[in-house]
């Protein structure tokens, strides 16, 4: 299967969007080669500005540029695009609801060898608490590109979460359509719903095949937009399957799992519920694929979780 | 500077100060001390310098102003009211529920406010962004920002200072209100930012030191800043915190405290007296 990192298609998408939006400016903080904003830099050098290693200032500068009416992308690794400048984003970009898109790459444990200091497993949590902030976590290169291109006619702050690791391209075919805030049911099973985001969607699809071999028909849902959350698709899945598993390369505190749990509790739905994600701990150095396995971010763990939840719920109903 | 213009500026600045007292008194909170110390420079900018249109606050070619020391919003609101962006009467609604005059400036609510500020240091960064955007499109506007001398302890200020010099933002003129006092006391005791001029020179800025309450010096400094090519300008204005209100001058306790009724009366009487002399 073809594998492309979402950061690669981010860089390409910036170039395409730059043609459509001549007002667009791209900022980076000394990581242009890694975040792939270098592609935009090479194509539109007069509209690319390196801020050096000062992510907080970059977000303030982005806000100032956007306040003059331009579309702005600001990029760094997730740790330094969401973590370090959180308060600048909250007050300078979120509060005045400015048209700044944050392109955060190298998110999650799959950063790999750099280790815990660079493995940002908390960015979805902190970004989604900012009022008016849209949070998008594409599942593959196709979706990443579509999501960035959707910014042509979108106004307001958006946090994009991209990865370093090359991941399977799963959104193939002419039918694929990206719509902000609209989840995608990839399979139509009724036994259990697996609600996944980012690179874990591919793992969920793999788990689907494995579960089918065991007689379990899973509904795989791709939630590329964590905020605003597609409530309808999740509530329908909860009602129709009565078993929900959330899957994310992120802390189980505050991310997709939390967002889904909040929704279910608010609507007084109580399906069997389990989270696959990083528990309350820091990561370690290692190759990305091995780390994903170590932290249970793999098809096998999704399958085991699904089988367990199915067994438990069956017991309860007996 | 023409004597008549200078007198008019002094009159307006006094009215701006009265608005600061009126609004913080009615709010029963707010920051009068640092608002009074920037009343003159804001009056000069909005009355005699900046290209702004109160009837069209979003005018694309307008000069931009960012109050990075956002807690001194009463000064900004008061000068915007004097300039005609909204009625002076509205100043009494400062910090009240339902009022657009938030404790710190909100650009989405108040006509004439170009950036939401309040968290120290961030406005300076945003001003750099506005200046850069203007440079990219060769826009005619200039960008002004006012910071506090305590505020510049924030790390982001020095990131922005480096950035502005690197990108040669000569359409940016910032002001540091050097009244020497921050909430916890004298800046020399709390966290000294001195020598401010040498620091900014070392960062590549054109630095001018002026008396904050002398309109001729203010005008000369902005004229010089506008002629400077390839460098942003920092005006360090030596000011008096609480300027114009006898009992507030140089008293740090007025950083973030509103006058009570008796104090309000004395303060307004002080300012009335100044106004009478000018009229």
Query: Catalytic residue among A16, A33, A55, A312, which?
Result: A55
pLDDT average, residue stretch A286-315: 94
Buried b (16+ CB within 10 A) or exposed e, B63-81: bbbbbbbbbbbbbbbbbbb
pLDDT of residue A317: 39
Share of chain B above pLDDT 70, in %: 100
pLDDT of residue B210: 98
Task: Write out chain A residues lying below 8 Å of B126, CB-based.
Answer: 60-61, 63-64, 67, 92
Q: Is the CATH code 3.40.50.970 the one for domain A3-168?
A: yes
pLDDT of residue A312: 86
| Beta-carbon separation of A96 and B166 below 8 A | no
pLDDT at A318 over 90: no
pLDDT at A316 over 50: no
- Which of A25-34, A167-176, A274-283, B256-265 is predicted with the least confidence, judged by mean pLDDT? A167-176
Could you tell me if B108 lies within 8 Å of chain A, comparing CB atoms? yes
Could you tell me if A68 lies within 8 Å of chain B, comparing CB atoms? yes
Task: Write out chain B residues lying below 8 Å of A64, CB-based.
Answer: 66, 115, 125-133
Share of chain A above pLDDT 90, in %: 96
| Beta-carbon separation of B116 and A51 below 8 A | no
If you average pLDDT over every residue of chain B, what do you get? 98
The 10s digit of each residue's pLDDT in B81-108 is: 999 999 999 999 999 999 999 999 999 9
The answer to whether B123 touches B145, Cβ cutoff 8 Å, is: yes
Task: Write out chain B residues lying below 8 Å of A59, CB-based.
Answer: 125
Please report the DSSP string for B113-147 in residue order. --S---STTHHHHHHHHHHHHHHHTT-S--EEEEE
* CA dist list (Å): A45 to A25, A89, A315, B156, B200: 10, 25, 63, 26, 29
Could you tell me if B167 lies within 8 Å of chain A, comparing CB atoms? yes
pLDDT average, residue stretch B196-221: 98
Question: At B205, which helix (H) or strand (E)?
Answer: none
Alpha carbon distance A80, B177 (integer Å): 31
Alpha carbon distance A203, A303 (integer Å): 10
B265, two tokens:
């009366």
Phi, psi of A85 (to 5 degrees): -95, 25
Instruction: Find, among B66, B59, B77, the residue nearest to B22 by Cα.
Output: B77
- Going by DSSP bridges, is the β-strand pair A134-136/A158-161 parallel, antiparallel, or unpaired? parallel
Distance, in angstroms, between A22 CA and closest chain B CA?
11
pLDDT band at A314 (very low <50, low <70, confident <90, very high): low
The whole domain housing B192 covers 3-278
pLDDT of residue A173: 84
pLDDT band at A315 (very low <50, low <70, confident <90, very high): very low
Sign, CA dihedral A303-A309-A311-A313, equals: negative
Could you tell me if A46 lies within 8 Å of chain B, comparing CB atoms? yes
Phi, psi of B181 (to 5 degrees): -125, 140
Phi, psi of A152 (to 5 degrees): -55, -40
Asked whether this complex has an ipTM greater than 0.90, the answer is yes
The 10s digit of each residue's pLDDT in A225-284 is: 999 999 999 999 999 999 999 999 999 999 999 999 999 999 999 999 999 999 999 999
Nearest CB among A54, A68, A95 relative to B116 is that of: A95
- Region of residue A173 (left: phi > 0; alpha: psi -120 to 50; beta: else): left
pLDDT of residue B262: 98
Nearest CB among B134, B139, B160 relative to A60 is that of: B160
pLDDT at B40 over 80: yes
Q: How many domains does chain B have?
A: 1
A261, two tokens:
């749990």
- Which residue in B has a C-alpha nearest to residue A61's C-alpha? B129
Could you tell me if A50 lies within 8 Å of chain B, comparing CB atoms? no
Is residue A152 part of the annotated active site? The answer reads no
Helix runs in A70-122, H state only: 78, 86-88
Q: Which of residues 59-78 of B touch A (CB under 8 A)?
A: 60, 64, 66
Angle at CA of residue B173, ends B167 and B174, nearest 5°: 105
Architecture of the structural domain at A184-317: 3-Layer(aba) Sandwich (3.40)
Alpha carbon distance A109, A118 (integer Å): 8
pLDDT of residue A1: 84
pLDDT at B129 over 70: yes
pLDDT at B125 over 70: yes
Share of chain B above pLDDT 90, in %: 100
The 10s digit of each residue's pLDDT in B5-19 is: 999 999 999 999 999
pLDDT band at A131 (very low <50, low <70, confident <90, very high): very high
The answer to whether B213 touches B240, Cβ cutoff 8 Å, is: yes
The 10s digit of each residue's pLDDT in B176-208 is: 999 999 999 999 999 999 999 999 999 999 999
pLDDT average, residue stretch A174-180: 94
Nearest CB among B60, B136, B156 relative to A60 is that of: B156
Identical fold, A3-168 and A184-317: yes
The CATH number of whichever domain residue B70 belongs to comes to 3.40.50.970
pLDDT average, residue stretch A284-306: 98
Residue with tokens 């290209």: B51
Distance, in angstroms, between B85 CA and closest chain A CA?
19
* CA dist list (Å): A255 to A203, A250, A262, A284: 18, 7, 11, 20
C-alpha A164 chain-centroid distance = 12
CA dihedral defined by A101, A34, A123, A278, rounded to 10 degrees? Answer: 150
A162, two tokens:
């991209």
pLDDT average, residue stretch B159-176: 98
- Going by DSSP bridges, is the β-strand pair A100-105/A72-77 parallel, antiparallel, or unpaired? parallel
Angle between helical axes of B3-27 and B73-83 (0-180°, round to 10): 130
């Amino acid at each position: 299967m073809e594998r492309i990192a979402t950061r690669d298609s981010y860089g390409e998408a910036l170039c395409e969007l730059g043609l459509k939006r001549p007002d667009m400016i791209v900022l980076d903080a000394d990581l242009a080669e890694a975040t792939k904003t270098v592609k935009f830099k090479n194509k539109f050098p007069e509209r690319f500005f390196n801020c050096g290693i000062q992510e907080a200032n970059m977000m303030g500068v982005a806000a100032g540029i956007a306040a003059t009416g331009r579309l702005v992308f600001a990029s760094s690794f997730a740790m330094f695009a969401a973590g370090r400048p959180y308060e600048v984003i909250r007050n300078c970009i979120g509060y005045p609801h400015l048209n700044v898109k944050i392109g955060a790459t190298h998110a999650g444990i799959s950063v790999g060898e750099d280790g815990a200091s660079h493995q940002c497993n908390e960015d979805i949590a902190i970004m989604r608490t900012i009022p008016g902030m849209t949070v998008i976590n594409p599942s593959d290169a196709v979706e990443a590109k579509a999501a960035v291109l959707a910014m042509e006619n979108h106004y307001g702050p958006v946090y994009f979460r991209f990865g370093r690791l090359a991941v399977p391209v799963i959104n193939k075919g002419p039918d694929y359509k990206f719509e902000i805030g609209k989840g995608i049911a990839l399979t139509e099973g009724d036994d259990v719903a697996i609600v996944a985001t980012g690179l874990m969607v591919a793992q969920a699809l793999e788990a689907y095949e494995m579960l089918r071999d065991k007689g379990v028909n899973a509904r795989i849902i791709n939630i590329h937009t964590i905020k605003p959350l597609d409530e309808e698709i999740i509530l329908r899945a909860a009602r129709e399957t009565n078993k929900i598993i959330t899957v994310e390369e992120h802390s189980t505190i505050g991310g997709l799992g939390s967002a889904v749990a909040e929704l279910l509790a608010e609507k007084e739905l109580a399906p069997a519920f389990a989270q696959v994600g990083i528990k309350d701990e820091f990561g370690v150095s290692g190759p990305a694929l091995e780390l994903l396995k170590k932290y249970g971010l793999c098809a096998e763990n999704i399958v085991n979780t699904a089988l367990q939840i199915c067994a438990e719920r069956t017991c309860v109903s007996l | 500077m023409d004597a008549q213009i200078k007198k008019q500026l002094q009159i307006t600045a006094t009215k701006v100060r009265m608005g600061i007292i009126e609004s913080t008194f009615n709010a029963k909170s707010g920051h009068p001390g640092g608002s009074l110390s920037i009343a003159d420079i804001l009056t000069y900018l909005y009355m005699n310098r900046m290209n702004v249109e109160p009837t069209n606050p979003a005018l694309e070619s307008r000069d931009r102003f960012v109050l990075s020391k956002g807690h001194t919003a009463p000064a900004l609101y008061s000068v915007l009211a004097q300039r005609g962006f909204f009625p002076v009467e509205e100043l009494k609604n400062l910090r009240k529920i339902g009022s657009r005059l938030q404790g710190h400036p909100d650009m989405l609510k108040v006509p004439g406010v170009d950036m939401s500020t309040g968290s120290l240091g961030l406005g300076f960064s945003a001003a750099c962004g506005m200046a850069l955007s203007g440079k990219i499109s060769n826009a005619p506007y200039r960008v002004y920002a006012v910071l506090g001398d305590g505020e510049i302890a924030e790390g982001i200020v020095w990131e922005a200072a480096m950035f502005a010099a690197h990108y040669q933002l000569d359409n940016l003129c910032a002001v540091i209100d050097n009244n020497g006092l921050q909430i916890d006391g004298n800046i020399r005791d709390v966290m000294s930012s001195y020598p401010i001029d040498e620091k900014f020179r070392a960062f590549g800025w054109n630095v001018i030191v002026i008396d904050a309450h002398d309109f001729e010096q203010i005008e000369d400094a902005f004229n010089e800043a506008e002629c400077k090519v390839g460098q942003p300008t920092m005006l360090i204005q030596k000011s008096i915190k609480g300027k114009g209100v006898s009992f507030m001058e140089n008293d740090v306790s007025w950083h973030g405290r509103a006058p009570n009724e008796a104090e309000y009366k004395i303060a307004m009487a002080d300012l009335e007296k100044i106004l009478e002399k000018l009229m």
